[in-house]
Amino acid sequence: MKQLRGKTVVITGAAGGLGSALAEAFVNQGCHLALIDINQLALNTLAEKLQKSDLRISCHYVDLSKTTEIDALPEELMSVHSSIDVIVNNAGMTLQKSAENHCIDDWQRVFGLNFWSAVLMCRALLPLLRQQKTAHIVNLSSMAAFYGLPSQCSYSSSKAAVQAYSESLRAELSGEGIGVSCIYPGAIQTNMIMATLSESDDLEQAQKNLALAQRFGISPDKAAKKILRGIRRNSPCVTIGADAKLFKFISRTFPGLTAMLLARTYSRLTNTTRQCSHTG
């Protein structure tokens, strides 16, 4: 899809850091927007900020964990917009817990938002995409899909599932003029970790991880521009950030070394935590 101007773009998790940056980037390209988020106040604020007289920007307050709300979206969207051309499945969450400390509800929450919402959004809106000569689907995965990260087993697993789903979807839709891009960001300067920070096994380490992402991560605006470029080029995968590119190379070229380094890092961090708790 080389031309974005005049297209209608659906963005989930639109009120978040990357979601709002994507919304602004699409508006700057002359796109109409359907913004989806559960945070009504933040979504309204974003829409007011982006509103231009010649563009349609609609807000849809949806709990993506509820299939019935997603199933109702096509009719709701078409009551405002004349077409749907691009879907960006951006909504996501992470938990910084060990595999042992993940309860069933944790797994269901993370997979529900990271994986199932993307699957259900594609299933619900694919008939609308098929009405266009060209259309595009963007699914947000993560560099955590390249190799499972300790303390983020549900996040890594869900993002790996998004990767496999996107690959299958691209193969199936390639003959219909519908492109599929899977996005693999590294650290981005957003507050995604904040939503579940208090649930972390090691709050101090989680706060350090947040600080590192804020300091060394790529800006949401730069990430959004790379995603738009991926849409124009119909790229099957877009790896964003030097950390993601390096981790992709190392994990695929030296899987044994990757496993050893992750195990040592996790052991060092958990041992330090235990020692501090004993001395405290």
Q: pLDDT for 137-161, tens place per residue? A: 999 999 999 999 988 999 999 999 9
The residues annotated with a catalytic role in the active site are 155, 159
Tally of CA atoms within 13 A in the half-sphere of 270 that contains its CB: 12
Kindly state whether residue 275 falls inside one of the protein's structural domains.
no
pLDDT at 276 exceeding the cut of 50: no
Kindly state whether residue 163 falls inside one of the protein's structural domains.
yes
pLDDT-above-70 percentage for the chain: 86
Question: Domains in the chain: how many in total?
Answer: 1
Kindly state whether residue 269 falls inside one of the protein's structural domains.
no
| CATH (domain of 151) | 3.40.50.720
pLDDT in tens, 28-78: 999 999 999 999 999 999 999 998 778 999 999 999 999 999 999 999 999
Kindly state whether residue 57 falls inside one of the protein's structural domains.
yes
Residue 102: the pLDDT is 93
Query: Domain limits at 98?
Result: 8-253
pLDDT in tens, 93-120: 988 888 999 999 999 999 999 999 999 9
Kindly state whether residue 240 falls inside one of the protein's structural domains.
yes
Kindly state whether residue 262 falls inside one of the protein's structural domains.
no
Rounded mean pLDDT of 6-11?
98
pLDDT at 262 exceeding the cut of 80: yes
Residue 272: the pLDDT is 47
pLDDT at 164 exceeding the cut of 60: yes
Rounded mean pLDDT of 220-249?
96
Rounded mean pLDDT of 221-246?
97
